Amino acid sequence: MTTSRRKFIKISALGLGGVAATTSAINMFGSNSYLNTLVKENVGEKFKITPTYCEVCFWKCAAWAYTNEDGEIKKIIGNEDDPHCHGRLCPRGTGGVGMYTDEDRLKTPLIRTTVNGEETFREASWDEALDLIASKFNGIKEKHGAESLALLKHGCPGWHFEHLYKSLGSDTIAEPAYAQCRGPRETGFALTFGSWVGSPEPTDIRDTKCLVLIGSHIGENMHNSQVQEMSDAIDNGATIITVDPRFSTAASKSKHWLAIKPSTDIALLLSWMHVLIKEELYDKEYVEKYGLGFNELKEYVRQFTPEWAYGITTIKPEEIRKTARAMGHAAPAAIVHPGRHVVWYGDDTQRERAIAILNGLLGSWGRRGGFYFKEKINVPNFPHPAYPEPKWGWKEIGENFPLAQMGITNELINASIPNKNNKYPIKAWMVAGTNLIKSIPDTIQLKKAMDALDFLVVIDTMPTDITGYADVILPECTYLERSDIVRSATNRQPSIAVRFAAVTPKYNSKPGAWIAKEIGERLGLSKYYNYKDFDEVIDWQLKELGTSKEEMAKIGVKRYPRKSGPMYLNEDETHQFGTASGKIEFYSQELKDLGFDPMPTYTAHPEPPQGFYRLNYGRSPMHTFSRTANNPNLNALKSENNLWVNPKVARILGLKTNQKVWLKNQDDIISNFSIKVRVTERIRWDSVYMVHGFGHDNKKLTRAYGKGIDDTKMISKIFVDPIMGGTGMRGNFVSILTENPHKNTEI
């Protein structure tokens, strides 16, 4: 790349900072010991409690924020009535206080400027920053159309800016939680059962007799109620089967751990189908009643014997049979979990199809201990005029992927790179609540796109990697400091939860709702913001939902009775599935018509060449992606990621635990920072493993900067799912460098 116009600003922005370091001053003086003891034991403290729901990940557990007499948030405790958490937050939710107390937070709007030939940020007033955004957006809209303004978002702030964008006439919207996350399973399950899996997954884990986890590492993946229910399942003596090339925490709790060779899961799934059908362990009645294309499937999987799969997966035929029988005997109270982050090798929709089909054979969809029929209550939209109709949007941009159900981030990124043949040129981005540098693979393409943009606004709470590329940075206050949209949960029983501001925003930060409205009004969209402030919207919505702010302040979560019918299939009636045929489609005519395999096929994927190891990554239970690395409470638990290396590999390469190494991938991309080795039997000899979300590049993150390696940077090769556009990320290989490759270069 030639000199970048929009250079990443690493070093301190001018004037940013100053405001910090006031909070801890009190602790400097020794304090009265008697009082001290009282405080230490929290006896003397009187708390105000405010309902909220957690924003540290997307499970959105409802909670209570405890504020002391000094107006400091001291702790956050789960709401007992909430089906997402049952009164127990996960470590990240409990440590959510740190999101609020983190003194490295963004404190005031910042505008990119050039001082003495050096690009830097200067502090700006909200008015100045918002005016600038409005004038840039207006200019681009006039010249290229509102469609050329793209929104990349995630989490709650996304909702407010989505409304802004739609009001403006742009549907050019995407989030990493689709093409980098759940996309393939939503398409795969929709093709089979005619229904998304959705979040939270409607898996009836607490009542299951057999839970099959395919690379779904619950326990490290701390999606709260799933973790809780898996624990219930252990208490109930359920059989847990984990398929994972790494000895995950879940694997350690399992009766069967199938240490599969990476990328070969489809072979195992096909072979399981083979055994279930051959040994007639499948739910005949269910399949007969609801299945479509069973005979084709039966015929098709006849060839996939466990012996065949053994050669591919390295899992012994006996183990395959044993586990298939365990599922068959437990059925229909069996769950083959769809997983969540499922963009692995590019054939992911087909793998998810295989998982869905397997569940179909087990008769688990709509059965107790399998998948329940979820339900939610609709939160009415505050009345506003109809949105203008955009000429094109995420759908058109992703038109090469016929079964994409949401915007594909990578396609929006590609459309932002100037190209004569591009029918849908994107000129500016607004990025809200997503750290694209760490969440989108193929960073080179991403940077090329950002370089070409006319304008880039980032709305975040922290100075993360992506903020370094912004023209304007807007500091949103944390979830604990704002009232926000009413959460409506899809669950066994519908419920809503509220988020009220527990304290006023620290520094000069503002709620996303306020920011969106201010920009909207400056863009002449006042008619879409026909209210004084967002509290008025919440007030109105709660009344519509038959409750009130006062009531919700006391209960935080309100449950509603089910209206859609029973949670499980009514065996006396015939259920209509949401597929075109109304049946569970073992054979997919839709895929066939689009030129794809109607039933999943196994294809071999590349393997690491000599001297390289497959880059495997996952979650640490105490962190969420890159957003918590600097959180003081959570950073204290885990301040950097480690590189898991099998002892055999360590012996060959002469590596020791805690030794610092660097990585270089198959495309000669070198990690910015070093990572400490952890020699452990929990990983295979052909792979290395690390937790995603570390290796932060922004010096403003005083705790996280330079700690560990960013896996995303090493994922330069992506395997795009031709069906829905997901970016398979598990086919990257790295070699381990023991010498600092940056010795002579400054980074």
Partner 1 sequence: MQEELITSGRNIPNIDPFLDIWHWPISVYLFLGGLAAGLLFFAALITILKKDKEYPAAVKFASIVSPIALTLGLLALFYDLTHKIYFWRLYTTVRIESPMSWGAWVLLIITPVSFLWVLSYYSELFPKFKLNFKFLKKFESFLQKNRLLMAYILLPLSVVLGVYTGILLSAFNARPLWNNAILGPLFLISGLSTGAATIILLSKSTKERHLFSKIDLGLVILELGLIVHMMMGMYAGSQVQLEAMQLLIGGEFTMMFFGFVVILGLIVPAILEFLELRGFKIPVAVPALLILLGGLIFRFVMVEAGQITRYLY
Partner 2 sequence: MRYAMVIDTLKCVGCSDCVVACQTENDVPIGYCRDWVTENVSGSYPSIELELKSERCNHCENAPCVRCCPTGASHQLNNGIVLVTADECIGCGACIESCPYDARYQHPDGYVDKCTFCHHRLEKGQLPACVAVCPTKCMYFGDLDNQNSEVSKLLKNRKWKTLAPEAGTKPKVYYLI
The whole-angstrom separation of Cα 414 and Cα 583 is 37
Report if residue 215 touches ligand MGD, rule: CB under 6 A: yes
Residue position matching structure tokens 């700690």:
707
| Cβ atoms within 10 Å, residue 562 | 16
Question: Residue 294's Cα: distance from chain center in Å?
Answer: 34
Report if residue 296 touches partner 1, rule: CB under 8 A: no
- Please give the C-alpha separations between residue 173 and each of 161, 176, 293, 429, in angstroms, as whole numbers: 10, 11, 36, 10
Which of the choices Mo ion, ligand MGD, ligand SF4, none does residue 691 contact, using the CB cut-off of 5 to 8 A by kind? none
List helix spans (H) across 440-588: 443-452, 512-522, 534-544, 549-555
Residues 371, 376, 380: CA angle, nearest 5 degrees: 160
Q: Which of 626, 633, 646, 732 binds ligand MGD (CB under 6 A)?
A: 626
Q: Which of 17, 402, 647, 706 binds partner 1 (CB under 8 A)?
A: 647
Q: Which of 89, 355, 599, 675 binds ligand SF4 (CB under 6 A)?
A: 89
Report if residue 480 touches ligand SF4, rule: CB under 6 A: no
The whole-angstrom separation of Cα 40 and Cα 63 is 23
Number of residues that bind ligand MGD (CB under 6 A): 62
Give Rg (Cα) of the chain: 26
Site map (CB under 8 A) of partner 1, residues 674-703, x = contact: -----xxx----------------------
Give the chain's count of helices (H) and strands (E).
26, 27
The whole-angstrom separation of Cα 146 and Cα 392 is 10
Report if residue 181 touches Mo ion, rule: CB under 5 A: yes
> What is the full DSSP assignment across 378-445?
PPPPPP-PPPP--SSBHHHHTTTSTT--S--HHHHHHHTS--TT-SS---EEEEES--HHHHSS-HHH
Q: Which of 107, 141, 223, 707 binds ligand SF4 (CB under 6 A)?
A: 223
Report if residue 49 touches partner 1, rule: CB under 8 A: no
Report if residue 734 touches ligand SF4, rule: CB under 6 A: no
Number of residues that bind ligand SF4 (CB under 6 A): 15
Residue 572 burial (10 A CB sphere; 0-12, 13-18, 19+): exposed
| Strand, coil or helix: 372 | coil
Q: Which of 13, 16, 56, 354 binds ligand SF4 (CB under 6 A)?
A: 56
Q: Which of 83, 93, 158, 398 binds ligand SF4 (CB under 6 A)?
A: 93
Which residues from 187-246 bind partner 2, rule CB under 8 A? Answer: 219-220, 222, 224, 227-228, 230-232, 234-235
Site map (CB under 8 A) of partner 2, residues 649-688, x = contact: -------------------------------xxxxxx---
Q: At a CB cut-off of 8 Å and minimum separation 6, what does 290 contact?
A: 360, 575, 577, 583, 584
Report if residue 499 touches ligand SF4, rule: CB under 6 A: no
Report if residue 348 touches ligand MGD, rule: CB under 6 A: no
Greatest CA separation found in the chain? 80
Report if residue 637 touches partner 1, rule: CB under 8 A: yes
Q: Which residues bind partner 1 (CB under 8 A)?
A: 622, 636-639, 647, 679-681
Q: Which residues bind ligand SF4 (CB under 6 A)?
A: 54, 56-57, 59-61, 85, 89-90, 92-93, 222-224, 624
Q: Which residues bind ligand MGD (CB under 6 A)?
A: 55, 57-58, 154-155, 157, 176-177, 180-181, 214-217, 221-223, 243-246, 248, 260, 262-263, 265, 339-341, 344, 432-435, 438-439, 441, 459-462, 464, 476, 478-479, 512, 616-619, 621, 623-627, 692, 711-712, 715, 729-730
